[in-house]
Amino acid sequence: MKLGDGVEQAIHAVTMMAALPDDGVMPAADLAEFHGVSSSYLLKHLQSLSRAGLLQTLPGPRGGYRLARSPAEITLLDIVLAVEGPEPAFRCREIRQRGPNPLPQSMFTAPCGINAAMLRAERAYRDELRKVTVQALLDGLTAEDRTGDIAARGCAFLQARMRHSPPRS
């Protein structure tokens, strides 16, 4: 399975926004700059996250994005589904019923075994993503950042670029 670059960008952006105070927002352009990605491409994914209820959008010159829920309530699956959509990665087109000598449809009463196996794998994949919250990612980052350099870089950027708006309601 291959996920688009937008998934990685969205996860990193959401994780960064999890460090904002309640009145903090980040402009999409600044998030894109920090991660060295296209602003327009990231904006498309931030809008998807907003439509999914994961981000709150504040318009205007002091606006930007912030989490709409706590980091403990947002899972990797939430982010993946917001960016990639809810459809399974594998979609059976029943090609076993095609070809030069197709059998009658009545021969295919059982579900396609390939489709069933792929759907089981999809469920396992989604179950694993559902177990990982943004808070768990933050906790893991803290554990692996032995020198504090990673956190210092992100905190300095947030302090310099963060805008303040009314706190979340």
List residues bridging with 55 in a β-sheet: 67
Find the length of the chain.
Answer: 169
Tokens of 30: 């600044």
Q: 45-75, pLDDT tens digit by residue?
A: 999 999 999 999 998 888 899 999 999 999 9
Over range 112-130, report the average pLDDT: 94
Q: 142-158, pLDDT tens digit by residue?
A: 777 777 777 777 777 77
* For residue 160, pLDDT beyond 80: no
Query: Residue 24 — φ and ψ, nearest 5°?
Result: -90, 145
134 vs 42, 76, 99, 129, CA distance in Å? 18, 7, 47, 11
pLDDT band per the 50, 70, 90 thresholds, residue 169: low
Q: Give the whole-number percent of the chain exceeding pLDDT 90.
A: 59
Domains annotated for the chain, with CATH where assigned, are 5-87+133-164 (1.10.10.10)
Cα-Cα end-to-end distance for the chain: 38
